[in-house]
Amino acid sequence: MSANAQVAEVFDQMAAALELLGANRFRVNAHEKVARVLRDLTDDVRAVVEENPPAAVARLRSFDGIGESSAKKICEWVETGSVPEHQKLLSQVPLGLFEVLAIPGVGPKAAKLMWEELGIESLEDLKTTSDEALSSLPRMGKKSVEKIRQAIDFSEKSGDRVPLGVARPMAQKLVAELSKLDGMQQVDFAGSLRRGKETIGDIDILVATTDAEAVREAFCSHPDVTQVLARGETKCSVRLENERGVVMQADLRIVPEEAWGAALMYFTGSKEHNVRLREIAIGKDRHLNEYGLFSGTAERPQDRGETPVAAASEESIYQALELPFVPPEMREDRDEFSDRWNGEALISLSDVKAELHAHTTASDGRLSIEELAKEARRRGFHTLAVTDHSKSQPIANGLDEDRLLAHIDAIRKADAKIDGIRILAGSEVDILADGSLDYDDELLAQLDIVVASPHAALRQEPVVATERLLRAIRHPLVHIIGHPTGRIVGRREGLSPDTKRLYEAAVEHDTVLELNSNWNRLDLRDAHLRAALQAGCKIAIDTDAHDTWQLDHLVYGILTARRAGMRPEQCINTWPADKLHSWLESKR
């Protein structure tokens, strides 16, 4: 785990402990914010502190949300490996209680009561505590106990958050079916799904309709629904299960059409973005809630029949607040309210005109060169790079030198045969553990494009990983570094190199870094990508497709790129054919 992630964990635990001990909620929030800032930070805090200890506190304080006290704690962690305040809190609150706090419906008050009154110190304790004992607690009746039992059951069955690429099709299916209903005015999904986060907790569907009952009925009786959790006037909650057994909660919200924009904004979040937006509204003597943006700062203007200044569209609300429109993917309270964001168009799916990383039957793909090329052409691409695996990937049927030479020949023939698309002879060459490549330079020079990727030795120490990747970036025949960290979302952390040095080297050597669109990878991830772009790196967004349907994964790459604030020209896949081809040739 990276230093930043480890310190973030310390702050999250301090926040949870403080919450359980009944500390001021703003203090709790402040700790949570520090954890969040640390997770998004691309500067490595260990490096920041070790490089210049006397200036470390000031440097850390320059990050929004980190103050004097937190900066000192971070320094303590780097210098001694622990934070005394953290240790002190852990001695006051049992660690297992954090699992109890994590159960939906159990907040700090309830967890604290369970602990103090019933001696519950872990999830296991809670499970073995009788219903009678639990319901003896204040404000804890039969229904509350039942809900807690169900929540434990659900979290054990459904596990953690679901990858974007699994959740999005489930939501799209629901939206497509609801949109067919009579009286439907608007329907869309909101929440982290609309923001394109790499993992999704639950699905939020928003609807404006003239026939609410029809929508409620269609939603609650949908074939994928296994349980209806709640069915109210404006909100229904269900459990969905897809054909592969993935279980998710989905919430339906029915909102008035005239407040569609305000509601969509509210339910899209993020929470942190909304909070900042409301603060900005107050500063302009306005009041923002899910019913609209109102004049004055009095509470609940909608109840007094006041007409909002803006409500029907998200655009109108940002405009009335004198802010550039913020695309959903950027709403994370990072820097979308700073001068850095001016509302310029972000990259979109239709900007992409080339696929530069894809596999065929020569290695572990399912399509022939021609099938792949025709599929790429059908999508309006002007260029396709065929990049099969190299010899150190026997599990992926990687090509040895002789097979690669024959493959290059076959690609050239296909290129001559098929009109309307340029087919490039390439390779996804392994970056070996020491940073050398899997083919010699003479062979690499015969390829039109070289994507160099790490596949093995993905648990290397950061220092070793940095040197390994730097060596590949500096290699004069390498165009693109494929999935640079080798991480798998939620399953494998991958390499944790000094990203700052990688980005500087990539700029210096004109080497492109990949954003791999496969939803299992999304590598570089959003925060890294943002820093790479700010460092001036060029990016390739590729699908790494092994079959036709995987070319559709491009959308996940685009969502991730938008989260990083990417403009079209920063992505080489958007370049016109001649610009792209001449850049590729510049490395030959």
Partner DNA sequence: GCCGTTTTCGGCCCGACTGTTTTCAGTCG
Q: Is the Cβ of residue 269 or residue 365 nearer to DNA in the bound state?
A: 269
Query: CB of 320: closest distance to DNA in angstroms?
Result: 15
For every residue of 111-125, DSSP letters joined together read HHHHHHHH---SHHH
For DNA, what does the binding mask look like between residues 116 and 135, x meaning CB under 7 A?
-------------------x
- Residues 180 and 197: their CA atoms lie apart, in Å, by 27
Asked if residue 198 lies in contact with residue 559, where contact means CB atoms within 8 angstroms, the answer is no
Q: Does 288 bind DNA (CB under 7 A)?
A: yes
CB of 27 or CB of 353, closer to DNA = 27
Cα separation, 270 vs 327, in Å, equals: 12
**Of 75 and 513, CB closest to DNA:** 75
Among 6, 42, 129, 144, binds DNA (CB under 7 A): 144
CA 312 to chain centre: 28
Among 47, 133, 140, 246, binds DNA (CB under 7 A): 140
34 or 513: CB nearest DNA: 34
| 189 to 218: interface string for DNA, x by CB under 7 A | --x---------xx-x--------------
496, 468 in Cβ contact below 8 A?
no
CA separation for the pair 401, 379 (Å, rounded): 32
The pattern of x and - marking residues 394 through 423 that bind DNA according to CB under 7 A reads: ------------------------------
| Residue numbers 294-333 binding DNA by CB under 7 A | 297, 299-302
Smallest distance, DNA to C-beta of residue 348, A: 26
Paired tokens of 492: 């494998």
Helix, strand, or coil here: 18?
Answer: helix
DSSP code for 447:
S
| 160 binds DNA, rule: CB under 7 A | no
Phi, psi of 337 (to 5 degrees): -100, 0
The span of 27-35, 177-185, 416-424, 488-496 binding DNA (CB under 7 A) equals: 27-35
Binder among 110, 384, 385, 423 for DNA (CB under 7 A): 110
What is the per-residue binding string for DNA in 216-245, x denoting contact by CB under 7 A? --------------x-xxxx----------
Question: Quick check: 103 binds DNA (CB under 7 A)?
Answer: yes
Beta partners for 540? 514
Q: Is the backbone peptide bond immediately before 270 cis, with ω within 30 degrees of 0?
A: yes
Contact 61, 51 (CB under 8 A): no
Nearer to DNA, 266 or 519 (CB): 266
Q: How many CB atoms lie within 10 A of CB 96?
A: 16
Pick one of 53, 84, 87, 105: the residue that binds DNA (CB under 7 A).
Answer: 105
Q: Is 17 in the site for DNA (CB under 7 A)?
A: no
391, 441 in Cβ contact below 8 A? Answer: no
Task: State the amino acid at position 588 in one-letter form.
Answer: R
Q: 3-state secondary structure string, 280-316?
A: HHHHCCEEEECCEEEECCCCCHHHHCCCCCECCCHHH
Site for DNA in 357-396 (CB under 7 A): none
What's the min distance (Å) between Cβ of 107 and DNA?
2
Q: Which of 3, 10, 16, 30 binds DNA (CB under 7 A)?
A: 30
| Candidate segments 271-279, 336-344, 349-357, 471-479, binder of DNA by CB under 7 A | 271-279
Max CA-CA distance within the chain? 79
Which among 413, 403, 354, 404 has a CA at the least distance from the CA of 543? 354
Q: Rank residues 91 and 586 by Cβ distance to DNA and give the closer one.
A: 91
Position 162: which residue type? Answer: V
Binds DNA by CB under 7 A, chosen from 3, 7, 8, 34: 34
Instruction: Kindly identify the residues of this chain, within the stretch 471-510, that bind DNA according to CB under 7 A.
Output: none
* Partners of 512 in the β-ladder: 480
Q: How far is the CB of 494 from DNA (least distance, A)?
A: 28
Give the interface segment with DNA, choosing from 20-28, 125-133, 387-395, 497-505 (CB under 7 A).
20-28
Separation CA 318–CA 325 (nearest Å):
6
The residues facing 206 across adjacent strands are: 188, 253
> What size, in residues, is the chain?
588
Q: Which residues contact 443 (CB under 8 A, 6 or more apart)?
A: 401, 404, 405
Question: Which of 176/298 has CB closer to DNA?
Answer: 298
Q: Which member of 168, 287, 479, 483 binds DNA (CB under 7 A)?
A: 287
Quote the CA–CA distance of 327 and 324 in Å, as a whole number: 9
* Both structure tokens of 171: 């939501």
Q: Which of 1, 79, 84, 109 binds DNA (CB under 7 A)?
A: 109
Write the binding mask 58 to 77 for DNA: x where contact by CB under 7 A, - elsewhere.
Answer: ---x--xxxxxxxx------
- Token pair listed for 159: 């596990």
Rule CB under 7 A: say whether 576 interacts with DNA: no
Question: Which residues here bind DNA, judged by CB under 7 A?
Answer: 24, 26-27, 29-31, 33-34, 61, 64-71, 103-111, 135, 138-145, 147, 191, 201-202, 204, 230, 232-235, 267, 269, 271, 274-275, 278-279, 281-283, 287-291, 297, 299-302
